[in-house]
Amino acid sequence: MTLHVAVLMGGLSAEREISLMSGRNVLEALVRQGVNAHAFDPAKHDLAELKKKRYDRAFLILHGRYGEDGTVQGALETMGIPYTGSGVMASALCMDKLRTKLVWTASGIPTPRHLVLTASSNWASVAKELGLPLIVKPAHEGSSIGITKVTSVARLRPAYAAAAKCDPLVIAEKGVMGGEYTVGIIGDDVMPIIKIEPATEWYDYEAKYNRDDAIKLRDVLFMVHAKPKDDEQAATWKQLVDGTLAAPDTWEVALSSGADKKETWERLLVEN
């Protein structure tokens, strides 16, 4: 039997254009392999059409909200259409940076200190508590959208305003200044570690998608300043991450190695 596959791309999020780029690549690859695949944009078509047109599978290449946050996953679950990627719980949790951090902290998994920001936050107190530089970000966006690296108290208010345009929930996080790495994970298979060296100060949206000046080094040796004290703790951390994030099948971890060796943790964030 030939499966009828819908490649979900585009969507309603701020990352729509990136999703369309990714989706076209996925669609072309599937068609080359002889798969009966077709593009499906939820921004232009009701999801109910997936059932009406008798699609057997959904390949999710949606980015950001309404695509990676459990909403589409839940709709597909109710329609009985199998889909790629993580399930409803993992998607909803991982797309929410604040609640992911709260769950990890409660589970004993190291993560940078953070504060929730509002328009009435005391900016000097925020800088004093987290230190500078720090990162201000919307809680429900990916691809570095709305993120600002803040190096002075005077930049905190405009950084908050920029993030708040994307999301009413904004967080500030202790800056982890050091090398940037990305690791893809499919099931239990860990892909090669890739070190990213941006041409500019940090790996922002423009560097990720609109420029081609970042250097990406594959199969690098990742030296961790703050590592588990033994194999048992390392295994515990892995189980906690898998468990608290509902063991997603396909995910990516962004690692930022702290330049300050006094740091007692590594930054572990599931990429959206």
What is the pTM (predicted TM-score) of this model?
0.77
pLDDT confidence band for 264 (50 / 70 / 90): very low
Torsion angle (degrees, nearest 10) of CA 213, 218, 223, 229: 130
Q: What is the average pLDDT score of the chain? A: 83
Do residues 59 and 29 lie in contact, with contact meaning Cβ atoms separated by under 8 Å? no
Residue 118 backbone dihedrals phi, psi, to 5 degrees? -135, 175
Note the maximum CA span of the chain.
Answer: 64
Per-residue pLDDT reduced to its tens digit, 214-240: 666 665 544 444 455 677 766 665 665
Per-residue pLDDT reduced to its tens digit, 51-73: 999 999 999 999 999 999 999 99
Do residues 136 and 156 lie in contact, with contact meaning Cβ atoms separated by under 8 Å? yes
Alpha helix ranges (H) inside the chain: 16-32, 48-52, 71-79, 88-94, 97-106, 123-130, 156-164, 205, 231-244
